[in-house]
A = this chain, B = another copy of it.
């Protein structure tokens, strides 16, 4: 069993309205020192694979097909065995 930890973030050039909303709320709560906020998602995927290379290929394919939108998002992941 492998565990993939996948980080999906908006590309730096893409506006992040959710992050801006959180920044506004933080300012309202008194955290005036906050300059900017960006929000992404973290997916933890446990999967069976014969070896690390096969796990890597599967996770890469999942990211491309479903988990990330390549037009506006970028992704990176790391794999751990037996987690």
Cβ B66 vs Cβ A47 within 8 A: no
- Report the minimum CB–CB distance from A60 to chain B (whole Å): 11
Cβ B43 vs Cβ A41 within 8 A: no
* This chain's copy number in the assembly: 2
The interface size of chain A toward B, counting residues with CB under 8 Å, comes to 32
Residues of B within 8 A of A37 (CB): 43-46
Is A7's beta carbon under 8 Å from chain B? yes
Contact of A25 (CB < 8 Å), options: B39, B61, B66 = B66
What string of 1s and 0s marks CB contacts (under 8 Å) between A42-53 and chain B?
A: 111111110000
> Taking beta carbons and an 8 Å cutoff, which residues of A are in contact with B?
1, 7, 9, 19, 22, 25-26, 29, 31, 33-49, 58, 61-62, 65-67
